[in-house]
Amino acid sequence: MLEYLLAFLIVAGGVFTFIGSLGLARLRDFYTRLHGPTKATTLGVGCILIASAAYFSRLQGEPSLHEVLVTLFLFITAPVSAHLLAKAALHLELPSLTPRPGERDAPQE
């Protein structure tokens, strides 16, 4: 039973990661491309981490805590990098599919 669950989680993680990468390659402007690696990858890597934690917990007979730490790191760093990338894009006034939000973040030249 567990094996099926693990297999599902790994496959799901792989699929999410692949979709994220695909989005990074295919989407048309910077802002939408940003969704790919941040959201989808977070979900994908999360799935794989849960699978890993479950597998090694069972293998070693005690809870495996490494993955918790990795998850923590991931959940702290991924939003920060996404936030910074978006901020930089707005500052650089990269072209967008929709109008950019106001002049608030874009400084005057």
Partner 1 sequence: MLLLILTVFVGAPLAAWVARFGRIQSAWAAGLVTIVAVLQLITLMPAVFEGETLIHQWDWMPRAGLNLSFRLDGLGLLFALLILGIGLLVILYARYYLAARDCMGRFYAYLLLFMGAMLGIVLSENIIQLLVFWELTSLTSFLLISYWQERADARQGARMALAVTGAGGLAMLGGFVLLGHIVGSYELSVILQSGDVIRAHPLYLPTLVLILLGAFTKSAQFPFHFWLPNAMSAPTPVSAYLHSATMVKAGVFLLARLFPALSGTPEWSALVGGAGLATLLVGAVFALFKHDLKGLLAYSTISHLGLITLLFGIGTPLAAVAGVFHIINHAIFKASLFMAAGIIDHETGSRDMRRINGLWKYMPHTAMLAMVAAAAMAGVPLLNGFLSKEMFFAEAVSASTHLRLGWLLPATVTVAGVFAVAYSFRFIHDVFFNGEPVDLPKSPHEPPRWMKVPVEMLVALCLLVGILPALTVEPLLTLASSGMLNQPVPDFDLALWHGFNIALAMSVVALVGGGLLYVARQPLFELHDRFEHRLQAKPLFDRTIGGVLGAAGAITRALDTGSLQRLVALFVAFAAVLGISGFVASDSPLTGPRDLLPVDGISLLAAGGLAAAALATVIMHRQRLVSLILIGVVGLVVSLVFVKFSAPDLALTQLSVEVVTIVLLLLALYFLPRRQQPDSHPGHRARDVVLSVVAGGGVAALAWAVLTRPYDTIADFFLANSVPGGGGTNVVNVILVDFRGYDTLGEITVLALAALGIFAMLEGLHLKGPTRDDEGRPWSPDMHPPVMASLTRLLLPLALLVSAFIFLRGHNQPGGGFIAGLVTAVALIMQYLANGVAWTQSRLPANMHPVLAMGLLVATLTGLASWLFGHPFLTSTYTYLYWPLVGKFEVASAMVFDLGVYLVVVGATLLILIHLGLMHSASHQAPADTGDYR
* Residues engaged in binding partner 1 (CB under 8 A): 69, 72-73, 76-77, 79-80, 83-84, 87-88, 91-92, 107, 109
CB of 2 to partner 1, least distance (A): 26
CB of 87 to partner 1, least distance (A): 6
Nearer Cβ to partner 1, position 3 or 61? 61
- DSSP per residue, 28-77: SSHHHHHHIIIIIHHHHHHHHHHHHHHHHHHHHSS---HHHHHHHHHHHH
Nearer Cβ to partner 1, position 1 or 80? 80
- For 29, 50, 63, 90, 108, the CA distances from 102, given in Å and listed in that order, are 18, 41, 50, 11, 12
Nearer Cβ to partner 1, position 5 or 106? 106
